[in-house]
Amino acid sequence: MNIQDFPALKAQLSNEKLAKIMIHTTGPYQPSSARERSVTNPHTERLSGISLSDDSGVDDIVNGSCRAEQSSDGDLKRSYVFALLASSKRISTPYIMKTLGLTERQARRYMAACKLAIQQLTRHFNSLEVATVPRTRALTLAEIRAAHKKEANGNSS
């Protein structure tokens, strides 16, 4: 496609705009090469020592991520998703294709399931860590006001 193919549009454009268009359309269109998209998996160490049935929270997350990627092609195997999460710090579609011997389309579905599982596992493990930290007593509004008043009096002296 070239601006020469559109004479009415070419007649309406100024020489400046026409020159810009000509610069961008001189060569044949070549899309950029596809870059490899990958996701970093921070849970490899935590998952490598357990089985899928050891932690019900992990089992639910992996099961849910597999169900979210359901299609007419069939279900994703939970054991495959868990094996990918437990074995690799960096997960990509080519890695999944090579490791599991899948087509690109199937590998992309597993990649999407792994991304979703990693997000949810991060939330799951963070909530477990937060629950182990002891909570302090929340201050009342009166205590906060008294602290501000004391601070203001201390600064003015």
Averaged pLDDT score across all residues of the chain: 81
- Cα(83)–Cα(111) distance, integer angstroms: 13
Q: Are residues 24 and 45 in the same domain?
A: no
Q: For residue 56, is it within any domain?
A: yes
Query: HSE-up of 3 (CA within 13 Å, CB side)?
Result: 18
Q: For residue 111, is it within any domain?
A: yes
Q: Are residues 17 and 63 in the same domain?
A: no
Q: For residue 137, is it within any domain?
A: no
81: exposed, middle or buried (C-beta count within 10 Å: 0-12, 13-18, 19+)? buried
Q: Are residues 63 and 121 in the same domain?
A: yes
pLDDT for residue 151: 78
Q: Are residues 74 and 115 in the same domain?
A: yes
Domain interval for residue 7: 1-29
pLDDT for residue 139: 64
Q: Are residues 20 and 57 in the same domain?
A: no
Regions in the chain scoring below 50 on pLDDT: none
pLDDT for residue 48: 85
Q: Are residues 44 and 111 in the same domain?
A: yes
Q: For residue 148, is it within any domain?
A: no
pLDDT for residue 33: 55
Q: Are residues 17 and 49 in the same domain?
A: no
pLDDT for residue 129: 62
Q: Are residues 49 and 20 in the same domain?
A: no
- Cα(33)–Cα(66) distance, integer angstroms: 30
Q: For residue 77, is it within any domain?
A: yes
pLDDT for residue 84: 94
- pTM, two decimals, is 0.60
Which tens digit of pLDDT belongs to each residue from 78-110? 999 999 999 999 999 999 999 999 999 999 999
Q: For residue 13, is it within any domain?
A: yes
Q: Are residues 89 and 47 in the same domain?
A: yes
CB 84 within 8 A of CB 96: yes
Q: Are residues 74 and 103 in the same domain?
A: yes
The C-alpha R_g of the chain, in whole angstroms, comes to 28
